Structure formats: structure tokens, C-alpha cells
């Protein structure tokens, strides 16, 4: 109990301290508060993952009533992910922000919002009072907004921030609607009443669930609610992008999982709905990611893809719950939960390395980069690990969670109906395509940014970031490899969270070791590593005395400087772009070379999100043109505005009076 | 273990047989069957030339590529006899471990900073991505048909069934053969003997590799052929005892090699732009197999 009070008070006290200390002190305070809060919350989280669950009641106020704080293993899992990503992100951020030392006021605000963001995210995992939940959610959304718009002197950043702010309020609107509906009926804000509210009424349960699903889907970036994400990520500083992709969008996943547990709708139906949305998100996310030439925007679209993979896991888990197929439930939810962690790891690592690239070169446009491996070998190495992991390729962690989901899908084959079979085939198809496209995308990103020759000369020296800045990155990379090599350790931790969904707490029920040969996977990974080392050392041994010559790259006999003839990102994806044309929206501006004495020619292409155009831009344009019809009202003449004002005041006064008279008149008519 | 040795032996001859078939069809005597192996041994003894643009990626990529194919080889069973590694869902691992090799071969091509190699890399990434769904759906339908989830169990039980399974097996042979052609960058997709860098896929990616590294890449290619050949063999052998299946293994591998040689002798490479459609059409053949499996199991009724 005391711990919880400390948890609330501590960040507040230190947040007030921050403006009064120097820049270095701010950093120390932030990391200290994050560490202490992480320790406090991890204590509960670890215990809850070991099977203990906690329930506290905070007094609350007259309006909110008692505030129940319930920590179960699901909250525990998410709290641990949040803490890990925040600690590494904060540590990385300390060094990343050094370049912005002079903007004292912005840094204070940034530091305060950062602390608040951390505490609110953890609180959201445990608070089970809908009113307080909404308030905390709002604080979280606002503090996230503040940390995103750190570079607010750039108009693009502010625009992205406002976009985020609006969309996150649409999200809150949905959540508010859902919570109020349940609360009015039950006359209490406790989450438990949501279960009571929906029990025994399938229609109501599904509608309520869908309302919450849309709300949380906006936060987590499911297509078609994803449009804020590709703007917000590139606008934010690197450590914030990493945290945002790593945990902030995951709080939406947490919300969906919590609602699955609370509302008990027709699981099969919602399973299919979630699966469909997720398959679309996964495919669409990665399809858009490939054509992006801003490194961070590319990564942002990959977040949408990975949310899709997590969603596929949740979807098949729900279908398993609906049909009583415990293996499917376990594999689906275990895959989803593990992928939540995995994505948090490799995506934050990717964003941090992208941050390093930005720090060194001051650009994120892939087409201007190249050859960074020579200047920044460590960043290159870390990016490579994360890129392999995110493509779901063994021996790293991305493979393990995708393997679980694949196994779920394949094991479902044996007792599925026709409809289910077709769903399985298309889900497998989607998952395979997502994997292949992710590989295409990351070979492009890695190959163009880090390999080859520099495509542009910079006026400043491009050099590796400091070793301290790389430490948190190595820590993340370590976990990426560790989960890949010892997946069974992490799956054992997942026993309790998954049992919330299956309802089985039997120690003998271990589908991870029977259906999924997770131990064999880990052994096979070791064999793989051994084989690689063996082959490589044989190579070293045999070639040690052989002559090694270094020459230019083969260019069909051309030996001049060939940096301009290198393959570019745009040309790398050209075959893909042609093939997937119907799903993409690409604008080209070009001037061809014409005539005997041609003058300058140019070619330029940029892409735009097709769904954003259809679902956001077009309706807004229609709305604007509708409102444009009334633009005569806004004629800039003061007299008119005064008239409007008077009309409004009169209307406010008169309408109730008229209404009353009208009412009396009706009553009078009735009496006749 | 059995499959491991058999695949190694088959790999030694496979490419030689293809080359020999092509020579005979074009009216030449052609090199000996073991010439590709001799070539590789010669390469292993040579020194190497590296481009000054390359980095550590270029150094490790061939080893990882070889290791990935080697790991894939360990997973392949021989009828009822398990591969050295066998577990539920090993075919997923099979496809993904090959993807690891491809990932590295693509980035090692990008590492040279050459315009040609980027071209090959881009095509390889796209085509291998398009070929993968066919394999996964094929294995899905076999898993559905047999009720098992690992290579060995699937292949061991595949045989017991009606004659429709043979029809499916033939379709499956076609799919695997075509995937093998795509993975190895052979004829209808890619012409290994073309002399223009602009029209190559795989060959152009390894332009800058030489010496031991090139030897590793070539060996991996031979192994890959034999691995896919072994998969085709597996579709037919089932639980027949090994006295019969071992000769069968070599006969089928031989036939596959001859078939590839014949295809290469009489077909021209597709236009690059049409490759994608062709590869994706394989997925629909796999879907056909899937519906065949549904028919057999009576799920349609």
C-alpha cells in the first residue's frame, strides 16, 4: 500500500524539482526516478508473474468512488516491458539529448513529461476504475504529445504532434463512450462491473467490445486507424520514437487483451474480426514501409506491421477460446504476448540506431546515406541484429514468436471447419508474405544506409556515437539474442498470463513443449551458431596463408569512381513497386531528356498512404467543401459578428422559453 | 543421418548431371559428372580478391549462407527416417533458415556498392518472397492431410491413403521442383549461363566473390539442389524399407537433375517482368493442392 503511494508521490515531487536544477542534474533526476519507479513496480510485476495477484483499494474521491488497483500477471508482463524499454530509452536519451543542451526550457518540459509518461503507462496497467483510467489515459496522451513535439520549432513536428493529439482524442472518445455506457448501467466505475454489464447479453457484449477495440486500435495503430503513427514517429526524438513504438502503442494491445478478459463476448466472432483487421494491418503496414525513404517513417510503418502480427496471435487465441481449443488459445496468446516484448526490443533498438545515424549525419533520408559501416561499425552491427530479428529470421527473438503463431495456425488445421481452414490458409499466406516483405524492406534499409559507398558528402565529420550511448543498445541486443537462444525461459514466464485466457493452471499442461518443440528450437539455434562458427573458422584456417588482394568493385571494366552508379533505394524496390501498384499511391514528377541538346532533367517520386487519402483526407475535404458553403457568414465585418453574438444570446435565452410555451400549449391541447 | 549422407552424395553428382544433360542435348560431349566438385575444390585452394568497398558483412555472408543451407539439409528426413534435427514445425524452420542465408547473400551483394549486384539483390529479395507462400501452403495441405506437423511424420504417413494422394504428390512435385528452380536461380526464372549482368539474378550477386567464399556459395548451391531433390523423393517413399528406397532416392534425384537439364535446354528465360506473375502462380497451384486435400478429407460436404 505504502509502495503505491510512494509510486504516485515520487514522480510528482521530482517533476517539480526538475526546473530548478542544471541540465546534467535533470538527466540524473529523470533516470533516478525512472529507475526507482521501475524497481517499485517491477517488484509487484515479478511477483504477479510468479502467480501472486494483488488487489488494493485507494480511497479515491466522491465522484470516482473506491479506486481498485489490481495487479495480475497480464499487468505484470506489460509493466516489465514498459520498465525495460523506459530504462534503456532514458539512458539512451540522456546522450541523445546532449545535442539539444541549449534549449533549457524545452528540456525541462521534456524531462517532466517523460517521467509522467512512465508513471501513467504503468498505472494504466493496474488501475481498474474506469473514470480514473480515463483521466490517467488523458494525462498519458498529453504527456506523450509533449515529448513528441520536443523539436517544436519545426512546423512538421508540430503538425505531426497535433495530428497525434486529435487522433488520440478520438481514441479517448471511444473509450469514454464505452466506459460511460457500462458505468451508467451498473452505477459503478469498477472494471468488474463491465463483466457484469455484458454477461448474458451477447449483442451488447460485442458492441461494447467493438467500441473498446476501435478505441484501443487507434492507440496501437491497427489499419485503418494508423494514420497518426507514420507522422508522429519521425517527428519525435529518437528515444521517444523507440519508446512510443516499443510501449506506448502496446498499451493499446494491453487494453484489447484486458477487454477480452473483462467483456466475455462471442469469442469466435471477435476472433475472426481481430484476425481480419490484423492481417490487413500486417500486410498494409509492411507494403507501405517498403516504399518509404525516411528511415524513421519506414520503421513506423513496420510498427503497424508488427501490431498486425501481434493481432493475428490475439485473433487466433480468441478463436481458440471460442471453440474450446486450449492449445490454440495458448499458442495464440503466448505468441502475441511474446511478440509484444520482442517488438518492444528490436523496434526500440532500430529507432535508437536510426537516432545514431541521424546524430552522425543529420539526415534520415535513405537516399542520401550509404557506406556508414566504415564510419559507424557498432551501430551497423546493432542495426543488423535488429533487422534480422524483425524479419523473423532465426536465430533471434522475432522468429520465436512468429514460430509460435505459425504453430498455432498449423495445429489448428487438424480440427477446423471449412471456414476456419480457409481462414488458416489466408492467415498463413499473410504471415509468410509479411515475413518476406519485411526481409525485402530491411535488406533495402540496411543495404542502402550502411553498405556501399556514401551517396552524399557531408560537410561535417561522420563518426560513431560515444560508447556510453551504445551500452543500452547492446543490452537490448543481448536480450534479442537471449530470447532467440533460450525461448523456453521466457515462455515459462508467460505461463500465468496465458492461463488467464485458457483458465488452466495445471502444471502438466505444457503445449510449449509438446505441440511446439520449443526446446528443440533452442537446441537447433545453438547448432546453427556452432555451424556458422565452424564454417567461418575453417575458412579462416584455410585462407590464412592465401593471397588477399583488395581492388575496386567489378564494374564491367569501368574502374572510376562509381558512387553515383550504385543501386539506390528507389531502384532496389522498383520491381516490387511495379508489382504492388494497386495498393500504393506514388506521385512522380519528372522531366525527360529530350532533343539533340538536352537541358537539365530530373526525376522525383514520393509516396502517400492510400488509406489515409481515402479515409482521412477525402472526408475532410468533403467536410471542408460543405462548410465552405457557409463561408459567407465569415465576412470579416464587425457589425455582422455582433449580430451573430446577439442572435446567439437571444437564442440561448429564448429557446427554453419558447419550448416551455410550446409545452404548455401541447398540454393545453391534450386537455381539450 | 541417412538422409544427411544421401543428400551429400547426391549433391556431388546433381549439378554435374544437369550440365551433362545440357551438353548432350546441345550435341557436345560435356565435362565429367564430377567437374563441379573439382571446380569447387580448386576454388577452395585459391586466394581471394576483395572489393575495397566491402565490409565485415561481405566476409561473413558466404559462411552464413553455407551454414543456412547446411542447417536446412539437417532438417530434411528420408521417408520414415528422421533427419538429424526433427521437431514439430521443422518445415517452418526449414524455410526461415534458408531465408537467413538469402538475407545475408542479399546484403553482401549490397555491400559491394555495385550497380549490377544491387539489381540482382533486388530481384532475389522479391522473387524469394513471392515463392515462399507456395511452400508454406503446400506443407500446410500435407499437414492437413496427414495430421502431423513435422517433415518426417508428414512424409512417413503421406503414403497411406487413396490414389488421389499420388495426384497431389505429382502436383506437389511440380511445386517443389519450381521452388527449387527459383531458389537456385535456374532456367525459367534466371539463366545461370547468361553473359549479360543486367539479365542475371543469382550470378550477378556473387560477381565480387572469389576464392574460398565463392567455393562455399557454389557448394551451398549444389546442396540446395540435392535438398529439394530429397524433398521430392520424400513425397513418394513413405514407409517402404530402405533397401528399396535408397536406389529410389538416387533414381529420382537423377530424374530430377535430368528434368532440370532438359528444361534448361529447351526453354528460354522468362521476361524479368513476367517472373513475378509466374512465381505467384505457384501459390495458386499450392492452393489447388490444398483444395485437393480438403476433397480427400471430405471437408467440402
Give the dihedral of Cα atoms A155, A160, A161, A163; nearest 10 deg: 130
- With bands split at pLDDT 50, 70 and 90, how would you rate the model's confidence at A623? very high
- Structural contact between residues A228 and A167, judged by C-beta atoms closer than 8 angstroms: yes
Q: What is the mean pLDDT of chain B?
A: 87
Q: How far apart are CA A406 and CA A434, in angstroms?
A: 13
Query: 10 Å Cβ neighbour count for A153?
Result: 10
Query: 10 Å Cβ neighbour count for A623?
Result: 10
The segment with the largest mean pLDDT, out of A153-157, A214-218, B118-122, is A214-218
Residue A3: per-residue pLDDT:
77
Residue A193: per-residue pLDDT:
86
Strand partners, A588: A605
Chain A residues touching residue B103 (CB < 8 angstroms): 388, 391, 393, 439, 442-443
Chain B residues touching residue A565 (CB < 8 angstroms): 115
What is the secondary structure of B135-194 as a DSSP string?
A: HHHHHHHHHHHHT--SHHHHHHHHTSS-THHHHHHHHHHHHHHHHHHHHTT-TTT--TT-
Measured in angstroms, the CA of A321 and the nearest CA of chain B are apart by 21
What are A71-111's pLDDT values in tens digits?
989 999 999 999 999 999 999 998 888 888 888 778 889 99
Q: Report CA-CA distances (Å) from B22 to B264, B265, B266.
A: 7, 6, 9
Q: How far apart are CA B299 and CA A418, in angstroms?
A: 6
Q: What is the mean pLDDT of chain A?
A: 89
Contact A567 B121 (CB under 8 A): yes
Which chain B residue has the Cα nearest residue A512? Answer: B88
Residue A6: per-residue pLDDT:
81
Measured in angstroms, the CA of A532 and the nearest CA of chain B are apart by 5
Q: How far apart are CA A253 and CA A438, in angstroms?
A: 22
Give yes or no for residue B160 having a pLDDT over 70: no
Which of residues 214 through 273 in chain B touch A, CB cutoff 8 A? 216, 272-273
- Structural contact between residues B4 and B83, judged by C-beta atoms closer than 8 angstroms: yes
What are A8-37's pLDDT values in tens digits?
888 888 888 888 888 788 888 899 999 999
Q: How far apart are CA A268 and CA A275, in angstroms?
A: 10
Chain A residues touching residue B125 (CB < 8 angstroms): 439-440, 443-444
Measured in angstroms, the CA of A587 and the nearest CA of chain B are apart by 22
What is the secondary structure of B177-237 as a DSSP string?
A: HHHHHHHTT-TTT--TT---GGG-SHHHHTTT--HHHHHHHHHHHHHHHHHHHHHHHHHHH
What are B5-39's pLDDT values in tens digits?
999 999 999 999 999 999 999 999 888 889 999 99
What are A514-559's pLDDT values in tens digits?
666 788 888 899 999 999 999 999 999 988 888 888 888 888 788 7
Mutate to test the interface with B, among A421, A426, A526, A541 (most CBs of B within 10 A): A421
Give yes or no for residue B144 having a pLDDT over 90: no
* 3-class state of residue A2 by DSSP: helix
- With bands split at pLDDT 50, 70 and 90, how would you rate the model's confidence at A508? low
Residue B159: per-residue pLDDT:
66
Peptide bond into A582 cis (omega under 30): no
Chain A residues touching residue B272 (CB < 8 angstroms): 575
Contact B112 A553 (CB under 8 A): yes
Structural domains counted in chain B: 1
Q: How far apart are CA A205 and CA A376, in angstroms?
A: 54
Residue A312: per-residue pLDDT:
95
Which chain A residue has the Cα nearest residue B102? Answer: A439
Contact B144 A414 (CB under 8 A): yes
Residue A340: per-residue pLDDT:
94
Residue A565: per-residue pLDDT:
82
B70 touching chain A per CB within 8 A: yes
ipTM: 0.94
Contact A432 B66 (CB under 8 A): no
Contact A403 B89 (CB under 8 A): yes
What sign does the CA torsion over A90, A95, A97, A98 have? positive
Domain span including residue B82: 2-297
Grid coordinates of A284: 498494409
Give yes or no for residue A139 having a pLDDT over 70: yes
Contact A566 B67 (CB under 8 A): no
Grid coordinates of A549: 588482394
Contact B111 A547 (CB under 8 A): no
Amino acid at each position: 500500500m505504502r509502495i503505491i503511494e510512494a509510486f504516485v508521490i515520487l514522480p510528482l515531487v521530482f517533476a517539480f524539482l526538475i526546473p530548478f536544477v542544471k541540465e546534467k542534474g535533470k538527466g540524473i533526476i529523470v533516470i533516478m526516478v525512472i529507475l526507482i519507479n521501475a524497481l517499485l513496480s517491477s517488484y509487484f510485476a515479478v511477483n504477479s508473474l510468479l502467480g501472486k495477484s494483488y488487489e488494493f483499494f485507494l480511497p479515491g474521491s466522491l465522484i470516482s468512488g473506491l479506486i481498485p488497483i489490481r495487479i495480475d500477471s497480464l499487468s505484470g508482463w506489460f509493466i516489465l516491458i514498459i520498465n525495460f524499454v523506459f530504462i534503456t530509452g532514458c539512458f539512451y536519451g540522456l546522450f541523445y539529448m546532449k545535442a539539444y543542451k541549449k534549449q533549457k526550457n524545452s528540456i525541462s518540459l521534456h524531462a517532466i513529461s517523460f517521467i509522467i509518461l512512465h508513471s501513467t503507462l504503468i498505472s494504466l496497467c493496474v488501475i481498474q476504475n474506469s473514470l480514473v483510467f480515463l483521466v490517467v489515459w488523458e494525462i498519458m496522451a498529453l504527456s506523450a504529445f509533449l515529448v513528441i513535439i520536443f523539436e517544436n520549432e519545426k512546423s512538421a513536428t508540430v503538425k505531426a504532434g497535433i495530428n497525434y493529439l486529435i487522433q488520440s482524442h478520438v481514441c479517448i472518445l471511444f473509450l469514454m463512450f464505452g466506459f460511460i455506457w457500462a458505468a451508467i448501467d451498473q452505477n459503478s466505475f469498477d472494471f468488474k462491473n463491465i463483466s457484469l454489464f455484458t454477461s448474458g447479453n451477447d449483442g451488447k457484449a460485442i458492441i461494447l467490445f467493438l467500441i473498446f477495440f476501435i478505441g484501443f486500435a487507434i492507440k496501437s495503430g491497427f489499419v485503418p486507424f494508423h494514420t497518426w503513427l507514420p507522422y508522429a514517429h519521425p517527428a519525435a526524438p529518437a528515444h521517444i520514437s523507440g519508446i512510443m513504438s516499443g510501449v506506448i502503442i502496446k498499451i493499446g494491445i494491453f487494453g484489447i487483451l484486458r477487454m477480452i478478459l473483462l467483456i466475455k463476448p462471442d469469442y469466435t466472432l471477435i476472433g475472426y474480426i481481430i484476425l481480419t483487421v490484423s492481417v490487413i494491418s500486417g500486410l498494409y503496414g509492411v507494403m507501405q514501409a517498403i516504399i518509404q525513404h525516411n528511415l524513421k517513417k519506414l520503421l513506423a510503418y513496420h510498427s503497424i506491421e508488427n501490431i498486425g502480427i501481434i493481432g493475428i496471435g490475439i485473433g487466433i487465441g480468441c478463436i481458440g477460446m471460442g471453440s474450446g481449443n486450449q492449445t490454440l488459445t495458448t499458442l495464440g496468446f503466448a505468441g502475441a504476448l511474446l511478440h509484444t516484448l520482442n517488438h518492444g526490443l528490436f523496434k526500440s533498438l532500430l529507432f535508437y540506431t536510426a537516432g545514431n545515424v541521424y546524430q552522425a549525419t543529420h539526415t534520415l533520408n535513405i537516399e542520401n546515406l550509404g557506406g556508414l559501416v566504415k564510419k559507424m561499425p557498432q551501430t551497423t552491427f546493432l542495426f543488423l541484429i535488429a533487422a534480422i530479428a524483425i524479419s523473423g529470421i532465426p536465430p533471434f527473438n522475432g522468429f520465436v514468436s512468429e514460430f509460435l503463431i505459425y504453430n498455432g495456425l498449423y495445429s489448428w488445421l487438424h480440427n477446423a471447419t471449412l471456414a476456419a481452414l480457409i481462414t488458416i490458409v489466408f492467415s498463413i499466406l499473410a504471415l509468410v508474405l509479411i515475413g518476406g516483405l519485411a526481409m525485402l524492406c530491411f535488406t533495402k534499409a540496411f543495404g542502402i544506409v550502411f553498405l556501399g559507398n556514401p551517396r552524399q558528402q557531408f560537410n561535417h565529420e561522420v563518426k560513431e556515437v560515444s560508447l556510453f550511448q551504445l551500452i543500452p543498445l547492446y543490452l537490448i541486443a543481448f536480450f534479442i539474442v537471449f530470447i532467440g537462444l533460450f525461448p523456453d525461459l521466457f515462455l515459462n514466464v508467460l505461463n500465468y498470463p496465458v492461463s488467464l485466457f485458457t483458465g488452466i493452471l495445471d502444471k502438466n499442461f505444457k503445449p510449449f513443449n509438446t505441440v511446439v518443440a520449443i526446446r528443440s528450437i533452442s537446441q537447433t539455434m545453438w547448432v546453427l551458431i556452432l555451424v556458422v562458427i565452424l564454417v567461418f573458422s575453417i575458412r579462416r584456417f584455410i585462407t590464412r596463408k592465401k593471397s588477399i588482394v583488395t581492388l575496386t568493385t567489378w564494374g564491367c571494366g569501368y574502374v572510376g569512381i562509381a558512387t553515383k552508379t550504385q543501386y539506390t533505394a528507389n531502384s532496389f524496390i522498383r520491381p516490387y513497386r511495379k508489382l504492388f501498384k494497386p495498393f500504393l499511391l506514388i506521385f512522380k514528377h519528372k522531366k525527360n531528356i529530350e532533343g539533340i541538346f538536352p537541358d537539365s532533367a530530373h526525376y522525383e517520386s514520393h509516396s502517400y498512404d492510400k488509406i489515409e487519402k481515402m479515409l482521412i483526407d477525402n472526408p475532410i475535404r468533403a467536410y471542408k467543401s460543405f462548410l465552405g458553403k457557409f463561408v459567407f457568414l465569415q465576412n470579416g465585418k464587425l457589425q455582422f459578428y455582433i449580430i451573430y453574438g446577439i442572435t446567439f444570446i437571444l437564442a440561448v435565452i429564448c429557446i427554453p422559453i419558447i419550448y416551455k410555451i410550446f409545452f404548455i400549449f401541447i398540454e393545453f391541447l391534450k386537455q381539450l | 543421418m541417412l538422409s544427411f549422407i544421401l543428400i551429400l552424395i547426391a549433391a556431388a553428382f546433381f549439378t554435374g548431371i544437369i550440365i551433362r544433360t545440357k551438353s548432350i542435348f546441345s550435341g557436345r560431349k560435356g565435362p565429367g559428372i564430377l567437374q563441379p566438385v573439382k571446380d569447387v575444390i580448386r576454388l577452395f585452394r585459391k586466394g581471394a580478391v576483395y572489393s575495397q568497398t566491402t565490409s565485415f558483412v561481405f566476409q561473413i555472408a558466404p559462411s552464413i549462407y553455407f551454414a543456412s543451407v547446411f542447417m536446412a539439409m539437417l532438417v530434411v528426413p528420408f521417408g520414415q527416417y528422421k533427419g538429424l534435427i526433427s521437431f514439430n514445425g521443422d518445415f517452418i524452420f526449414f524455410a526461415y533458415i534458408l531465408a537467413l542465408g538469402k538475407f545475408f547473400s542479399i546484403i553482401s551483394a549490397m555491400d559491394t556498392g555495385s550497380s549490377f549486384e544491387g539489381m540482382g539483390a533486388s530481384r532475389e529479395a522479391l522473387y524469394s518472397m513471392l515463392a515462399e507462400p507456395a511452400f508454406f501452403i503446400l506443407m500446410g495441405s500435407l499437414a492437413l492431410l496427414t495430421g502431423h506437423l513435422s517433415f518426417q511424420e508428414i512424409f512417413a504417413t503421406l503414403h497411406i491413403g487413396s490414389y488421389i494422394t499420388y495426384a497431389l504428390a505429382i502436383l506437389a512435385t511440380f511445386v517443389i521442383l519450381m521452388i527449387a528452380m527459383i531458389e537456385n536461380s535456374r532456367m525459367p526464372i534466371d539463366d545461370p549461363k547468361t553473359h549479360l549482368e543486367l539479365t542475371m539474378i543469382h550470378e550477378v550477386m556473387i560477381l565480387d566473390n572469389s576464392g574460398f567464399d565463392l567455393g562455399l556459395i557454389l557448394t551451398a548451391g549444389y546442396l540446395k539442389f540435392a535438398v529439394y531433390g530429397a524433398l521430392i523423393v520424400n513425397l513418394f517413399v513413405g514407409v517402404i524399407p530402405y533397401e528399396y528406397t535408397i536406389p529410389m532416392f538416387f533414381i529420382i534425384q537423377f530424374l530430377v537433375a535430368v528434368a532440370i537439364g532438359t528444361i534448361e535446354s529447351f526453354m528460354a528465360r522468362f521476361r524479368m517482368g513476367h517472373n513475378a506473375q509466374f512465381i505467384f502462380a505457384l501459390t495458386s497451384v499450392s492452393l489447388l493442392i490444398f483444395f485437393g486435400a480438403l476433397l480427400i478429407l471430405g471437408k467440402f460436404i
